[in-house]
Structure 1
Amino acid sequence: MEINSLGYRTDLFLLGLGGSEISDTGPYVVIRTPANPTFWWGNYLLHRTPLEPGDLERRVTEFRAEFPAAKHVALGIDTTDGVLGIDPQEVIAAGGRADPSVVMTTSSVNAPKRPNTTSTFRFLDGDDDWQRVVDLTLATSTMTVDDGHREFTRLKVAHERELVEAGHGKWFGAFDGDRLQASLGLMLDGEGLARFQNVQTHPDDRNQGIASTLIHRASTYGFEQGAKTLVMVADPGYLAIHIYRTLGFNDTETQLAITIPPA
């Protein structure tokens, strides 16, 4: 299956490892994650081309036909330049938003300018550590944390644990005693690519050099395991992107997603 976007290509690689169903219809790819039906970016359509006038309504209709029980709409565009093809106001008028993400890559990593020397950095290990990832994910969430979101988070972290335990990568944590301050995953495709997952730091532990030190340690591990290129997908409006650039990650592509949340 030919996917141009490095961001979506590595997304589909990870979803496929976790058992998601991926089928190519020609104009678009259907991604399904039956084990976590409320995971928007595990249940979406990836279209081959940018939109043209009138396309949004048609693509939403296609999504509804593929996912009749879904309350959300999630549409990806297999582009590398972030071209939407229509006025973003059309998406807003439909109750959604078009979100660009920066796909960043590096073949070497810089030492952090302000390394953290007080936290303990190690791989996650055991039930207690993975529960701490669930708790940290909820603590850093920008979504409303209700019972549905808690269940979604539990299932997503369970999927991440399965990937680690199957030998596809590692999950890294920064700890203050038993308290998880920050975490991230690094998954390797065995062909030279390694993709970062869910870099997150507890609000109480920011601005201490923890995230940059954790990313540097995970990057070093990835290169030691044979990775040639590290891939990070970042929100262009979030401060963490400056940390990634300082560590040596370069803006390579723009990944584009359209979401229409439940009414």
Structure 2
Amino acid sequence: MTTLSACLGLGIRSDLMLLKKSGLVTEHPDGVCVISPGNPDFYFGNFFAPFTHPTIETIPDVRKRFTELIGCHPGIEHESFAWSCQHADEKTLEVFAQNGFRVEQSLVLTCRPKQLLSPNKTVPDLVIRNASQFDIASLWQLYARFTREQSNGKLPPAEHRFLSARIHEFIELIKTGMGNWHVAVINGRIVAALGLFFEGPIGRFQEVLTDSRWRNRGICAALVHKVSQDAFCNGVQDLIMVADSTYHALRVYRNLGFQDIESLITVCKPSRQDQNTK
């Protein structure tokens, strides 16, 4: 995996493992700068990851660095930062929120072959397979539906552009042989999907999505388990999953043997266009 400073945490470093294929990742004395020229609306494809956790006193300096390194690029109208920690500084996060930033705390989980557990139940008629080029439209719809759920039923213009470019980036990653998307199908209908991409013995999950109409039926657990099992059979040693700390699927991952190792803090001030559509 990327040799960038270990102080970034496993969650960020595994993100950079993929982002460096489609974007520019540069290390500076105070942190790492990420720029995705082909997707300026990708909030966490264009962000600054400081080596030292921001504090109330250093927030202005960190924001200045984003402007200097990232915000000057065409089409980037947001501010985004990410850092790993064991315990979040709630007062600092509160100041970010007061300044118009969306604050999210995610958990980074890992699993090794001997830790993987089988799902509690089976799902009748479920077929799990690699995605094909004919599945792209269905994947986009699933991705868009999930994003609308997170945006109060709306799909702001910047989010729409981001999704279109992001699907293209995943297609390019697949062409390089880094991994694939996998889909769960019931009676010919895609009801869940996820991406899993690799660098050496490390695998990083991307966008585990389940159609809201098919949740709580064991589909997500079956999909993650089967894809993980196949990866381990092919020599992968560590799988990494990042999930929102309040996300309903977190329990699913833990029940499959994934274990929490760190917290990942992300703060983002959306573009004015997105703010105006909320």
Cα distance in 2 for partners of 1:116, 1:170 equals: 23
The answer on whether the counterparts of 1:181 and 1:205 sit within 8 Å (CA) in structure 2 is: yes
Paired residue type of 2:12 = Y
Alpha-carbon distance between aligned partners in 2 of 1:219 and 1:31, rounded to the nearest angstrom? 28
In structure 2, do the counterparts of structure 1 residues 87 and 212 end up closer, same or farther at CA, with 3 Å as the change threshold? same
When residues 146 and 87 of structure 1 are mapped into structure 2, their CA distance, relative to the original with a 3 A threshold, is: closer
SS in 2 for 1:138: helix
Could you tell me whether the CA contact under 8 Å between 1:21 and 1:31 is conserved in 2?
Answer: yes
Q: SS where residue 131 of structure 1 aligns?
A: helix
Alpha-carbon distance in structure 2 between the residues aligned to 1:100 and 1:147: 25
Cα distance in structure 2, aligned partners of 1:53 and 1:160 = 36
Alignment partner, residue 171 of structure 2: 161
Q: Pick the aligned partner of 1:188 from 198, 207, 210.
A: 198
Structure 1 residue corresponding to 2:93, chosen from 88, 101, 115? 88
Cα distance in 2 between the residues matched to 1:148 and 1:262: 8
Q: Distance in 2 between matches of 1:9 and 1:200?
A: 22
The unaligned stretches of length 5 or more in structure 2 are 273-278
Q: Structure 1 148/52 Cα, relative in aligned 2: closer, same or farther at 3 Å?
A: closer
| Equivalent residue, structure 1, for 2:55 | 52
CA contact (8 A) 1:50 1:83 kept: no
Alpha-carbon distance in 1 for matches of 2:95, 2:15: 27
What is aligned with 2:276? none
Residue aligning to 2:20: 16
Q: Percent identity between the aligned chains?
A: 26
TM-score, normalised to structure 2's length? 0.88
Q: TM-score, normalised by structure 1?
A: 0.93
Structure 1 position 85, deviation (Å): 7.7
Deviation at 1:147, TM superposition (A): 4.0
1:233 to 236, 239, 242: 242
Question: Residues 169-180 of structure 1: matches in 2 within 5 Å?
Answer: 169-180=179-190
Deviating more after overlay: 176-185 vs 8-17: 176-185
**Which ranges in structure 1 are unaligned for 5 or more consecutive residues?**
none
In the TM superposition, residue 158 of structure 1 has moved relative to its aligned partner by 1.2
Question: Distance between the aligned counterparts of 1:87 and 1:74, measured in 2?
Answer: 15
Give the paired residue count: 259
